[in-house]
Amino acid sequence: MSLTITRALHDQIVAHARQDHPDEACGVIAGPAGSGRPERFIPMLNAARSPTFYEFDSGDLLKLYREMDDRDEEPVVIYHSHTATEAYPSRTDISYANEPGAHYVLVSTADTDGLGDFQFRSYRIVEGEVTEEEVKVVEAY
């Protein structure tokens, strides 16, 4: 299992996470249904506006799902940031993960590993089971 993502999308996620710090940032990257290819970057508002918690606005989310439906897209990547902890899903993140086909990307804007100021990691979360996967950053698909 791995996530292949373009450098441009990777950098947009990181930029959004840095911009919203110290609050958690969140968003979706949509792609053609069934392709598994992240293409369209959709930064969302963290309705909780919290440094420890994120929540999509239910109205925004409904609008997004209708739009993806109309465009024959699905959420390929669902991302959010952790601002003080490592890039690993919290219990709350796991309980909210209801897209078994999606890659759950976490960016940490805390320097938790001495490797600079962010980590970019991807997981599959299916029925409460978290599996980390390799991230391949490419220039283009």
Evaluate if pTM is beyond 0.75. yes
CA dist 70 to 5, 94, 113, 139, Å? 23, 28, 42, 28
Distance CA 28, CA 102 (A): 10
Distance CA 48, CA 27 (A): 13
CATH number of the domain encompassing residue 74: 3.40.140.10
Distance CA 24, CA 50 (A): 6
Count of domains in the chain? 1
Q: Which of 60, 78, 54, 73 is nearest to 3 (CA)?
A: 78
- Residue type (1 letter), 71: R
Pure H helices in the chain: 7-20, 58-70, 91-96
Which residue range(s) make up the domain with 68?
2-138
Q: What is the pLDDT of residue 118?
A: 72
| Token pair for 117 | 């100021």
pLDDT, tens digit only, all 141 positions of the chain = 899 999 999 999 999 999 999 999 999 999 999 999 999 999 999 999 999 989 999 999 999 999 999 999 999 999 999 998 889 999 999 999 999 999 999 999 887 556 566 789 999 999 999 999 999 999 999
